[in-house]
Amino acid sequence: KEMHVGHLRSTIIGDTLARALEFTGVEVKRLNHVGDWGTQFGMLIQHMEEEGVPFDASVGDLQQLYKDSKARFDAEGDFKKRAQQAVVKLQSGSEESLGRWGKICDASRKEFNKIYDRLDIEIEERGESFYNPLLKDLVEELRGSGVAELSDGAICIFVGGSEAPPLIIQKSDGGFGYATTDLAALRQRLTDESADWIIYVTDSGQSQHFKGVFSAARKCGWITDEASSYPKVDHVGFGLVLGEDGKRLRTRSGDVIKLADLLDEAVSRCKEQLVQREYEFAEDEEKLEEIAQQMGYSAIKYADLKQNKSSNYEFSFDRMLDLKGNTAVYLQYAHARVCSILSKARVANPGSDAGDASKIRVTCEPERALLSTICQFPEAVESTVEDLAPNRLCDYLYGLTSKFTDFYSECKVIGSEEEASRILMCEATLKVMRKCFAILGMEPLERI
C-alpha cells in the first residue's frame, strides 16, 4: 500500500517521542511494525498468478489488484481455497512464493521511504514476518507453563477476570493472529534487544488489544504492574484526523487521501502564499520550492503535534498556514526574525561577539518574562517524555515565541544601551527555539 492520511499521526508522534527521548540521552530503537505477512499476501499472489500480472508491478497497480483479489476471496469459494493454499505455501518457505512476496513488499517499501525522506523520519522496518518463526514455540511454551490453555478448540490466555475476553494466541484452525505476533515481538524486544521501555504508537482503536497483550505479558512474568519499575510498556493511542465536516478526512470521491498528495498540497499552498507576499526570492523557483517545502512540512507536523494526542482533530490548511496564532508558520517567521536581529547586530558591530558582553541585565518586565520562559525548557522536555505528550513541547515553544514577540515589540535591541545584554537574550531564545524545532522534527528557516 501507499501511505495515506491515516498513517500521519503514528509517523509524526512516534518520531517526536523518539527525538525527545534521544535528546534526554536515551538510546532509542525506532521500529516500524508493518503488516507484511498473512492471508492478504496469499490472496494477492494467487490472483496475480492467475491474471498473469508481473510481480514487480507498481504500488498503485498492486493496490487495485489487492482490491480485486479481496473481492474474489469474498465471493468465490474456489478462489478462497486456492488463496489459502498460497498462504500455506508462503508460510512453509517456498522460494518461489517468498520471491514474489519480496517483490510486493519492495514496491510498498519504496513508497514508504519516499515519505520518510520528505519528512526526515529515521526508522527501521521490522514487520510481522520477522516474528513468524517464533510463534509456534511461544504457544507451546506458554501452554506448557500453564499460562495458556485450550478453550473451544483455541489456545487462549485468560486475563482481566472472567468478564474480559481471552487473548487468543492460536485459533482453532491452527492459525496465529495479531495477539500471538505482538506477544512474540514484546518478548523478543525484552530479551534480544534488552529493552527497558517499549512504547507502542497506534490509533486509540487498538487500546483494548494492547491492554490484553500487556496483561498477558504480566501473567507470563515478563513485566510487572509497577509503573515505576523496568522493563515497562506503554501504548500511546491517538485520535483520528478529520475533515472540516467532522468526518474522516477523505477526497471528494470518498477515497482515502494519500499522504504524498497531502504534503504536495501543503507545499503548493505555502508557495502560493510566499509569491503573493512578494518576498525577494519569489522569482527564484529553486529557493521558493525549498522554503515552501520546509514551511509546508513543518506546518503539517506542528498542526498534528500540538493536539492532545488522544483527541480527534479537524485538519484545515487555512488554519495551519495562518501567520498568526499557534501555527508552525508563525513560529517560522518568529525564528527568522530572531536570525535577522542577530545578523543586523553583526553588521552594525563587525568583529564583535555577544560572548564579549559581561552578563545579561534585566531592566524590564518583557525581558524578565522571556528569560523566565527560556529557563523552563528542561521542564517542558521532561513533561513531554514523562507523559509521552508532544503537545507539551508545542505549548512551550508557542509560549516562548509569544514572549519573544512581546520582548521584541517593547525592547529596542540594536542601538540601545542594553544592546549587548539583549543580543544575549536573542541568542538564548534562538538556541532554545532550535532545540524545540529539532525535537519536533521541523527544519527552521533563517530567512523568509
Do 275 and 348 contact (CB within 8 A), yes or no? no
Tell me the pairing of strands 124-125 and 149-151.
Answer: unpaired
Instruction: State the pLDDT at residue 280.
Output: 67
Diameter of the chain measured on Cα atoms: 87
Instruction: State the pLDDT at residue 300.
Output: 95
Secondary structure string (H, E, C) spanning the chain: CCCEHHHHHHHHHHHHHHHHHHHCCCCCCCEECCCCCCHHHHHHHHHHHHHCCCCCCCHHHHHHHHHHHHHHHHHCHHHHHHHHHHHHHHHCCCHHHHHHHHHHHHHHHHHHHHHHHHCCCCCEECCHHHHHHHHHHHHHHHHHHCCCEEECCEEEECCCCCCCCCEEEECCCCCCCHHHHHHHHHHHHHHCCCCCEEEEEEEHHHHHHHHHHHHHHHHHCCCCCCCCCCCEEEEEEECCEECCCCCECECCCCCECEHHHHHHHHHHHHHHHHHHCCCCCCCCHHHHHHHHHHHHHHHHHHHHHCCCCCCCEECCHHHHCCCCCCCHHHHHHHHHHHHHHHHHHHHHCCCCCHHHCCCCCCCCHHHHHHHHHHCCHHHHHHHHHHCCCHHHHHHHHHHHHHHHHHHHHHCCCCCCCCHHHHHHHHHHHHHHHHHHHHHCCCCCCCCC
For residue 31, which amino acid is it? L
10-residue averages of pLDDT along the chain (448 residues): 86 97 97 90 94 90 91 94 89 90 92 94 94 94 95 91 85 87 97 97 94 95 87 95 83 78 93 81 82 94 95 88 90 95 80 60 95 98 97 98 96 92 95 98 92
Nearest CA-CA partner of 270 in 315, 329, 325 = 329
**What are the φ/ψ torsions at residue 58 (nearest 5 degrees)?**
-70, 160
Instruction: State the pLDDT at residue 354.
Output: 47
Instruction: State the pLDDT at residue 226.
Output: 81
> How far, in Å, CA of 401 to CA of 334, rounded?
7
Instruction: State the pLDDT at residue 332.
Output: 95
For residue 143, which amino acid is it? R
Nearest CA-CA partner of 344 in 242, 263, 254, 422 = 422
pTM for the model stands at: 0.91
> How far, in Å, CA of 43 to CA of 46, rounded?
5
Count of other CB atoms within 10 angstroms of residue 54: 8
Show the cell assigned to 225.
504492574
Instruction: State the pLDDT at residue 350.
Output: 61
Residues 6 or more apart whose Cβ sits within 8 Å of residue 345 = 352, 354, 413, 414, 419, 423, 426
Residues 6 or more apart whose Cβ sits within 8 Å of residue 364 = 410, 411
> How far, in Å, CA of 17 to CA of 165, rounded?
31
Instruction: State the pLDDT at residue 390.
Output: 98
Do 423 and 46 contact (CB within 8 A), yes or no? no
Instruction: State the pLDDT at residue 243.
Output: 85
Show the cell assigned to 231.
522493563
